[in-house]
Amino acid sequence: MKKYVIIVAGGKGNRFGSQVPKQFVELCGKPILMWTISAFHDYSSEIDPIVVLPRNQFDFWKELCQKYQFNIPHRLVKGGNERFHSVKNGLKVIQEHGLVAIHDGVRPLIDQKTIEICYAMAQAEGNAIPTTPLVDSLREISADGKNTHVDRNNYRLIQTPQVFQTQFILKAYEQEFSQKFTDDGSVFEAIYPNAIKLVEGNRQNIKITTNEDLVYAEAILVLKNRKE
């Protein structure tokens, strides 16, 4: 089956206290977004990468690609107001039936095994969402502001890549946007109830949103290099 990956990088860079959007922040010698694209390309050079960026970042990204001699072929698609609209724009350029992974641009530590498992499960079952168990305890906040202990074993943390057979996710993205969509699984589920297939993710595959996350990512990359 033809394999796509839509890499969504909508960051405007507020939390780093800098003008550089977080997807462009340098991590061990190259921008975060390049690590992310490379991870999928390293898994299979047959994967067709679609990179979604705010329109006003296209020129800067092209300059970065030249500067870092980054030459993995990929298509650039302009982002929308919300993540939902960015993904939708990415889906529009898919021409063939196949599998599409949707991945956060700022999750550069995605590992080959998780990519493999997600594509394989989606090929077999229509979709796949990587999850990890909770290490910390969990409390639920109710509408009246009260909070109650809930059993963390009944919950899973959700990551990306979330992988779908193209016909299902294209259909799901025809619906109207809702604020409750925080990931592609929630968009999919609104059309196909009780159909989400969970697979095992990897705790290392963090979303980089703060400077501490960046420090963690550096440490993990250094550790990986030591092992190789």
Residues that bind its own copies (CB under 8 A): 129, 131, 134-142, 146-159, 180, 182-183, 185-186, 189, 194, 196, 198, 203-204, 206-207, 209-212, 215-216, 218-220, 222-223
Q: Pick between residue 65 and residue 108 the one whose CB is nearest to its own copies.
A: 108
Pairing of strands 48-53, 2-8: parallel
- Minimum CB–partner distance for residue 219 and its own copies (Å): 4
Q: Pick between residue 47 and residue 205 the one whose CB is nearest to its own copies.
A: 205
3-state secondary structure of 82: coil
Q: Pick between residue 44 and residue 210 the one whose CB is nearest to its own copies.
A: 210
- Minimum CB–partner distance for residue 134 and its own copies (Å): 7
**d(Cα 108, Cα 2) in Å, to the nearest integer?**
23
- Minimum CB–partner distance for residue 61 and its own copies (Å): 25
- Minimum CB–partner distance for residue 10 and its own copies (Å): 15
**d(Cα 118, Cα 130) in Å, to the nearest integer?**
7
- Minimum CB–partner distance for residue 60 and its own copies (Å): 26
Q: Pick between residue 162 and residue 166 the one whose CB is nearest to its own copies.
A: 162
Q: Which amino acid is at 159?
A: Q
Strand order in the sheet with 162-165: 75-78, 48-53, 2-8, 98-104, 162-165, 127-132, 198-200
Closest CA to 158 of 203, 223, 123: 203
Q: Pick between residue 74 and residue 161 the one whose CB is nearest to its own copies.
A: 161
CA 202 to chain centre: 13
Give 11-80 as a 3 state SS string: CCCCCCCCCCCHHHCEECCEEHHHHHHHHHHHHCCCCEEEEEECHHHHHHHHHHHHHCCCCCCCEEEECC
- Minimum CB–partner distance for residue 209 and its own copies (Å): 6
